[in-house]
């Protein structure tokens, strides 16, 4: 199962450069209208677009990827659909990325660089004609000037873009980054003022602004100090270690500014210099530095216009869908016979690419491994006692112990466990004996080591700072609680500095984490709204009906999914009143809006999750509650079929359900807890359709710690593209499973890592590993 990387040759790159020139000439001769395309041609163009974008995004991120294939793809699209902006803009971006990648070699290959530069300028000229009002061509002009090391020209182009995009704050910060070391003080100061208009949340900009204001005794420093009190709050402990007490000092300076104390200016200037001398080394400061320039990939157009697309494809007729049987496994094929099971989980515990079942009882945590033989097919691999009052399992790599190697020769870490319940929480470490290679479980941290609420209702994983360490969000009787991971099994309660409005989560029973507004920051969703991540580990409450509720009954569970395949996160909510879906629309970095709601069923529901049990590439739902367990087959377009109940399921209350391919046959099975007994539901027939399994492996470069991701890329955005079919999943496990129906391959598999870097596999294998390094 090789890792997917594209390595085109230099010869192909030269041909690609010549192809651009030829394509630009053909644009004026061969310009069929996209409306003349047949449905088959449209699907072929969709596939070309999918692979083209994948290769384009890999150009700066994959070693030895030269970018010629992306240039060829978008040149073809401009010829076949000249009225579509996607082809023109993406062709310019692909060309700019190639120029940037080969800038350092232009002296060795001047003819190649000159030819690509000439073609890029011609493509830019056409883009200006096609798009005279958006300001994007002017921004791409500026990016070209930066590649050519002409900052003066870049500034002029950004200024031209600002006249067309007056509300785009990033343009001011782009100019600031070009001029912040300019020897002309007046020019430098104006750049600071322009960049910080209505933008007092960036540490780098704040440092420049407060120094300017202190030197010039600007009364607006009062406003900046007020912003600093909030922005620096998560760093209070770090600054205190350097004898800087911002909790008392900044409010005192603010008071003196309000009182117009003339002696405050030199003292405040000196103290702010000391503050930022400390802050420059901090992860938050470094991430803010990256926030000041928009990468050229952020201007890529990912889909054709609405005019290009024909009417929606008709929903799948259930009568023509493949026959899938969901059946309770034989009595000898279950992980335990106890009648007091509280929770179950599925994971690859021993890193053998097979799934183990984790079972929690009131006094133990047990790992069961599949060992086909006479008698029970699941045997105990290891077990440990657990503190009383633990009712739930969370699976994650909490200690980043990447000491093993995957079959593709990438460093991987084993998973650990967080347990929580009425007695708080504890951590259980997955330990490997280097001599015997045997595994065991050990209590890494118990509730007594961290001041925590005595009872936790629910919990989920989230990386609050995008630092690559997985933190935990819980709901307690007091509201939201944030447990921050400091590495090496050191955790702190960061609620006070991270979520000052935590009480909005009181009385909630479910929580989920996802980048809800698509700005590369993980938000925290509740049924009554969400905590928006505003960077530096800080959250701001947003009142919003994130869940579709049809009664006053409390929401028992929410699941996050793209139910209608429009690239925006929808919320599936479960309660005693049944299951409902809130469909949303989101533009990256903008507000997410609920555009429609739908009631799926009236069955009292305690839990809900998503899967694709028939591998047709359309989202399905499995739900459970007092009456048992049932599945809803997805029909496409956010529509779902009537409930389907497994055969042989005992009558009784189902309290837990986990999804995974337990028998490794290509379709997804279930392990549930019914009447406090674990039970496996076999999927027979789902593998008649084809599937792709995605493994993520983050191997961070120590030189770029600011771009570090968690080991398994949990929270990343995974997108599968096959022609005009689109699937989106949030990576939440070691394996992400996509069904692809009768297709034998996909055009592209794209991962947007939690650090905001996209990486794609073109025509991926059925088992693909994408590595971030």
Predicted confidence at residue 551, as pLDDT, reads: 57
Q: Is the pLDDT of residue 703 over 60?
A: no
Task: Please provide the average confidence, as pLDDT, over all residues in the chain.
Answer: 89
Residues 138-154 have a mean pLDDT of 97
Q: CA–CA separation, 108 vs 110, rounded Å?
A: 6
Tell me which residue of 454, 458, 448, 450 sits closest to 480, measured CA to CA. Answer: 458
- Residue pLDDT, tens place only, 745-765: 999 999 999 999 999 999 998
Q: In which band, very low, low, confident or very high, does the pLDDT at 15 lie, cut at 50, 70 and 90?
A: very low
Establish if 150 belongs to a structural domain.
Answer: yes
Residues 208 and 179 in one domain: no
Burial class from Cβ neighbours inside 10 Å (0-12, 13-18, 19+) for residue 218 reads middle
Instruction: Say if CB 518 and CB 589 are below 8 A apart.
Output: yes
Establish if 556 belongs to a structural domain.
Answer: no
Tell me which residue of 310, 303, 311, 309 sits closest to 87, measured CA to CA. Answer: 303
Residues 270 and 219 in one domain: yes
Q: CA–CA separation, 400 vs 417, rounded Å?
A: 13
Establish if 643 belongs to a structural domain.
Answer: no
User: How many domains, in total, are found in the chain?
Assistant: 3
- Residue pLDDT, tens place only, 543-590: 876 666 555 679 999 999 999 999 999 999 999 999 999 999 987 656
396 token code pair = 């994650």
Q: CA–CA separation, 595 vs 585, rounded Å?
A: 7
Residues 130 and 234 in one domain: no
Establish if 412 belongs to a structural domain.
Answer: no
Predicted confidence at residue 29, as pLDDT, reads: 39
Residues 366-373 have a mean pLDDT of 88
- Residue pLDDT, tens place only, 597-632: 999 999 999 999 999 999 999 999 999 999 999 999
Query: Which are the contacts of 280, defined by CB distance < 8 A and separation ≥ 6?
Result: none
- Residue pLDDT, tens place only, 250-306: 999 999 999 999 999 999 999 999 999 999 999 899 999 999 999 999 999 999 998
Q: CA–CA separation, 281 vs 343, rounded Å?
A: 42
Residues 190 and 209 in one domain: no
Predicted confidence at residue 449, as pLDDT, reads: 59
* 136-147 vs 85-101: helix crossing angle, rounded to 10: 10
Last residue of a domain, one of 197, 213, 241: 197
Residues 695-707 have a mean pLDDT of 72
| Sign, Cα dihedral of 341, 357, 692, 351 | positive
- Residue pLDDT, tens place only, 175-199: 999 999 999 999 999 999 999 998 8
Establish if 26 belongs to a structural domain.
Answer: yes
Residues 220 and 154 in one domain: no
- Residue pLDDT, tens place only, 400-454: 988 888 888 888 899 999 999 999 999 999 999 999 999 999 999 765 555 555 7
Q: In which band, very low, low, confident or very high, does the pLDDT at 723 lie, cut at 50, 70 and 90?
A: confident
Residues 98 and 234 in one domain: no
Angle at 299 between CA 26 and CA 529, to 5 degrees: 145
- Residue pLDDT, tens place only, 21-73: 444 444 433 444 455 778 888 889 999 999 999 999 998 877 677 789 999 99
Residues 49 and 79 in one domain: yes
Domain of 187, in residue numbers: 10-197
- What CATH number is given to the structural domain containing 717? 2.60.40
Predicted confidence at residue 402, as pLDDT, reads: 83
Q: Kind and range of the H or E element at 185?
A: helix 185-195
Burial class from Cβ neighbours inside 10 Å (0-12, 13-18, 19+) for residue 93 reads buried
- Residue pLDDT, tens place only, 656-682: 999 999 999 999 999 999 999 999 999
Residues 17 and 110 in one domain: yes
Establish if 628 belongs to a structural domain.
Answer: no
141 token code pair = 């002009």
- What CATH number is given to the structural domain containing 145? 1.25.40.10
- Strand 767-772 to strand 690-698: parallel, antiparallel, or no bridges (unpaired)? parallel
Predicted confidence at residue 5, as pLDDT, reads: 37
Residues 135 and 232 in one domain: no
Residues 208 and 175 in one domain: no
Q: CA–CA separation, 440 vs 454, rounded Å?
A: 28
Residues 112 and 167 in one domain: yes
- CA-based Rg of the chain, rounded to a whole angstrom? 28
Residues 76 and 189 in one domain: yes
394 token code pair = 């969370």
Q: CA–CA separation, 121 vs 127, rounded Å?
A: 10
Residues 467-479 have a mean pLDDT of 94
Kindly report the pTM of this predicted structure. Answer: 0.89
282 token code pair = 């901090």
Last residue of a domain, one of 256, 290, 324: 290
Last residue of a domain, one of 235, 267, 290: 290
Establish if 233 belongs to a structural domain.
Answer: yes
Q: CA–CA separation, 773 vs 700, rounded Å?
A: 5
Establish if 404 belongs to a structural domain.
Answer: no
Higher pLDDT, 772 or 214: 214
Query: Which are the contacts of 570, defined by CB distance < 8 A and separation ≥ 6?
Result: 560, 561, 562, 563, 564, 581, 582, 583, 584, 638
Question: Per-residue b/e over 40-56, b at no fewer than 16 CB within 10 Å?
Answer: eebbebbbbbbbbbbbb
Q: What is the DSSP string of 567-599?
A: SS-EEEEEETTEEEEEEEE--TTS--EEEEEEE
């Amino acid at each position: 199962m090789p890792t997917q990387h594209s390595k085109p040759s230099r010869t192909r790159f030269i041909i690609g450069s010549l192809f651009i020139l030829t394509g630009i000439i053909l644009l004026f001769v061969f310009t069929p209208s996209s409306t003349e395309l047949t449905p088959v041609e449209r699907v072929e163009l969709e596939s070309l677009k999918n692979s083209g974008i994948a290769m384009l995004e890999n150009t700066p991120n994959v070693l030895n990827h030269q970018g010629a294939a992306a240039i060829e793809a978008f040149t073809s699209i401009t010829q076949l659909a000249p009225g579509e902006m996607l082809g023109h803009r993406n062709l310019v971006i692909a060309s700019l990325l190639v120029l940037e990648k080969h800038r350092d070699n232009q002296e060795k290959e001047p003819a190649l660089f000159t030819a690509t530069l000439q073609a890029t300028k011609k493509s830019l000229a056409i883009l200006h004609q096609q798009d005279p009002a958006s300001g994007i061509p002017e921004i791409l002009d500026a990016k070209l000037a930066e590649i050519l090391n002409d900052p003066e020209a870049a500034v002029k182009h950004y200024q031209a873009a600002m006249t067309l995009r007056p509300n785009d704050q990033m343009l001011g910060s782009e100019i600031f980054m070009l001029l912040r070391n300019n020897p002309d003080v007046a020019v430098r100061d104006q750049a600071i003022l322009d960049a910080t208009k209505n933008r007092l949340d960036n540490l780098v900009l704040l440092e420049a602004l407060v120094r300017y204001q202190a030197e010039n005794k600007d009364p607006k420093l009062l406003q900046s100090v007020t912003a600093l009190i909030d922005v620096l709050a998560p760093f209070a402990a770090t600054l205190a270690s350097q004898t800087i007490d911002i909790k008392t000092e900044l409010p005192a300076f603010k008071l003196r500014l309000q009182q117009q104390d003339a002696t405050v200016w030199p003292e405040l200037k000196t103290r702010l210099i000391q503050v930022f001398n400390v802050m420059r080394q901090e992860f938050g400061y470094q991430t803010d530095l990256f926030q000041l320039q928009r990468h050229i990939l952020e201007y890529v157009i990912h889909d054709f216009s609405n005019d290009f697309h024909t009417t929606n494809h008709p929903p799948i007729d259930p009568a023509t869908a493949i026959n899938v049987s969901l059946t309770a496994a034989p009595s000898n094929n279950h992980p335990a016979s106890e009648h007091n099971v509280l929770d179950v989980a599925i994971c690859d515990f021993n890193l053998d690419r097979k799934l183990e079942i984790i079972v929690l009882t009131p006094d133990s945590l047990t790992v069961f491994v599949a060992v086909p033989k006479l008698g029970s097919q699941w045997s105990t691999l290891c077990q440990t006692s657990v503190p009383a009052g633990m009712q739930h399992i969370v699976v994650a790599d909490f200690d980043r112990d990447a000491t093993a190697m995957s079959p593709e020769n990438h460093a991987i870490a084993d998973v650990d466990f967080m347990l929580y319940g009425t007695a708080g929480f504890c951590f259980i470490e997955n330990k490997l004996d280097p001599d015997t290679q045997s595994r065991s479980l050990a209590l890494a941290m118990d509730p007594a080591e961290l001041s925590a609420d005595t009872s936790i209702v629910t919990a989920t994983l989230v990386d609050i700072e995008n630092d690559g360490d997985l933190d935990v969000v819980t709901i307690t009787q007091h509201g939201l609680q944030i447990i921050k991971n400091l590495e090496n099994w050191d955790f702190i309660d960061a609620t006070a500095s991270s979520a000052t409005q935590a009480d909005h989560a009181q009385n909630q029973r479910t929580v989920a984490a996802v980048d809800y507004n698509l700005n590369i920051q993980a938000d925290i969703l509740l049924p009554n709204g969400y905590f928006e991540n505003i960077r530096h580990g800080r959250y701001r409450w947003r009142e919003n009906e994130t869940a579709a509720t049809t009664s006053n009954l409390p929401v028992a569970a929410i699941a996050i999914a793209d139910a209608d395949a429009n690239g925006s996160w929808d919320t599936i909510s479960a309660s005693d009143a049944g299951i409902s879906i809130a469909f949303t629309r989101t533009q990256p970095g903008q507000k997410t809006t609920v555009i429609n709601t739908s009631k799926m069923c009236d069955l009292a529901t305690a839990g809900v999750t998503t899967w694709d049990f028939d591998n047709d590439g359309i989202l399905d739902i499995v739900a459970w509650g007092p009456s048992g367990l049932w599945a809803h087959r997805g029909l496409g377009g956010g529509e779902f079929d009537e409930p389907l109940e497994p055969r042989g399921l005992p009558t009784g209350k189902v309290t837990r359900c986990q999804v995974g391919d337990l028998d490794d046959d290509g379709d997804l099975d279930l392990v549930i807890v019914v009447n406090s007994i674990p039970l496996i539901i076999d999927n027979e027939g789902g593998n008649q359709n084809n599937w792709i399994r995605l493994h993520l492996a983050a191997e961070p470069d120590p030189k770029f710690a600011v771009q570090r991701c968690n080991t398994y890329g949990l929270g990343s955005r995974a997108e599968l593209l096959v022609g005009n079919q689109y699937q989106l999943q949030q990576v939440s496990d070691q394996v992400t499973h996509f069904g692809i129906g009768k297709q034998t391959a996909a055009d592209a598999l794209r991962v947007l890592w939690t650090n905001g870097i996209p990486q794609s596999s073109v025509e991926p294998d059925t088992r693909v590993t994408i590595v971030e390094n």
